[in-house]
Structure 1
């Protein structure tokens, strides 16, 4: 039983408010900076209230971009990031759910070894395998392409493990009932497992979409053409100025725009996301 004490409630609310302030303050500073002109940062002090250049700064980055940095308009970079994030999220879910389905419901030699070989890849971060992966992608001619941005990041041991755990919680009676009704493996997968895994797929989609959207190192390596720059790597290029000072008001406007799609995905899929994480019974 949870005790209802005014002092504890006040302390809990105070901790939550402090947490919100700590998380929201950098976002607020970035937004404020994106509404000022280039000379407002030369004094060394950061303004804390919005300025008069909000529409001007955002319209410039969405329409023409910053030509001195060699990057295309922000809208095009956001489109590239959207294609990459959707390809990674949907590709990971499709491959992982099929892999987990095969591991749980099919009997074949070395089935356990196959799963653990997939699971062990969790110990290999992207930075460890990025050089051989780049060599393979370059050898296949996939540099400066959406395939080169997405395919090397599609396989996911984590998603395979999560779907395996979900399938292990399914009652055996479902399999027996489907077998008695004459349903084949793929019909059982399509008509029973997929609907029951809907919330889990939604939760994974949110996580994987944000993972794909926030990719920085890999797009920086495989894209040399501005037609395939992603928004996160584009922010880095905007901040790199050889002769002169970075135009931080435009960099911050780009950063704020880059936050909008992941935030929108989390907001619109919040209920399914939470349900997919906490749901344990089918």
Structure 2
């Protein structure tokens, strides 16, 4: 029996509201900064009410960008980030779910060794192997290409491990029943495993999409052409200006726009995301 304690409920809600305010206030300040002129924040006084340059600032960044900093329009940068995030998320899920399916449902020599070799790559993130990876990408002529942005980041030992754990919870009787009904390996995979793994796929997609969208170091290394800049790179390049004051209204507008796609993905896939994280039984 759960006791009804109004004071504790009020206290819990106050703590939640305080937490939301602490998290949301910097975002609010960033939005306010994007609506004012470029010099309004240089005096040290931070206005807390919207200015009158909202439409001009956002349209300028979306259509023309900051030509003084060599930045292309944000629409192009957001498209590049979207292509990179979707390719990484879909590629990681596709490769990982097939790898986990082979490891769990097929009997072949050194099956456990294959899984542990995949799992050990968790100790080799892109930051650790960045020099040899860059050398390979450069030798293959993939600099300043979408392939160079995405292919080196497309494998995921974590996703393979998670799908393996999901497949291990599926009863063996289900596979035997499908075999008796004449279902081959691929039909069993497409018609049974994929629908049963929908929530897990959705949860991983949200995580991997945000991972791909927020990539900074790797795009910075393999991209020199402005037409392949991502929006996270754009924020950094706009803030690093020489012999001039950063135009904070444009920088903050870029930061606000950069937050929108990950937030929308989380909002639209929230139910599947939560189910995929807490689901333990099939």
TM-score category (smaller protein):
over 0.9
Return the alpha-carbon distance in structure 2 between the equivalents of residues 49 and 120 of structure 1. Answer: 51
In the alignment, what sits opposite 1:222?
222
- What is the 5 A alignment of 1:76-115? 76-115=76-115
Q: 1:125 Cα deviation (Å)?
A: 2.6
Q: How many angstroms does 1:25 deviate by?
A: 1.1
- How do residues 234-245 of structure 1 correspond to structure 2 at under 5 angstroms? 234-245=234-245
The Cα of 1:9 is off from its aligned counterpart by: 1.0
Q: Is 2:116 the partner of 1:116? A: yes
Question: 2: CA distance between counterparts of 1:22 and 1:42?
Answer: 24
Report the equivalent of 1:193: 193
Kept in 2, the 8 Å contact 1:57–1:250? The answer is: yes
What secondary structure is seen at the aligned counterpart in 2 of 1:281?
coil
Match of 2:254? 254
Mean Cα displacement is larger for which, 211-220 or 40-49?
40-49
Deviation at 1:73, TM superposition (A): 0.2
Find the aligned partners of 2:75 and 2:154 in 1 and give their Cα distance.
24
TM-score (ref. length: structure 2): 0.98
The residue number in structure 2 matching 1:8 is 8
Aligned-pair CA distance for 1:278 = 1.3
Whole-angstrom distance in 1 between the partners of 2:111 and 2:44: 61
Shift of 1:124: 2.1
After TM superposition, the score normalised by the length of structure 1 is 0.98
CA distance in 2, matches of 1:237, 1:2: 54
- Structure 2 residue aligned with 1:46: 46
Structure 1 residue ranges without an equivalent (≥5): none
What root-mean-square deviation, in Å, do the aligned CA atoms of Structure 1 and Structure 2 show? 0.9
Instruction: Give the aligned partner of residue 19 of structure 2.
Output: 19
Q: Deviations over 1:229-263 (max 9, x none)?
A: 00001110111111211100000000100111111
**Larger mean Cα displacement after TM superposition, 189-198 or 121-130:** 121-130
The CA deviation string for residues 163-221 of structure 1, in whole angstroms up to 9 with x for no partner, is: 00000010111110111112111111011101111111111111110110000111011
Q: Deviations over 1:1-38 (max 9, x none)?
A: 43321221122112111110111111111111000001
Structure 2: gaps of 5 or more residues: none
> Does structure 2 conserve the Cα–Cα contact (< 8 Å) formed by 1:69 and 1:240?
no
**Partners in 2 of 1:4 and 1:103 — Cα distance?**
49
1:118-133 to 2 correspondences below 5 Å: 118-133=118-133
Tell me if the contact between 1:81 and 1:230 (Cα under 8 Å) persists in the aligned partners: yes
Query: Paired residues, what number?
Result: 282
Cα displacement (A) at 1:45: 2.0
Which residue of 2 is the match for residue 154 of structure 1? Answer: 154
Q: Distance in 1 between matches of 2:279 and 2:262?
A: 23
Residues in 2 aligned to 1:210 and 1:49: alpha-carbon distance in whole angstroms: 30
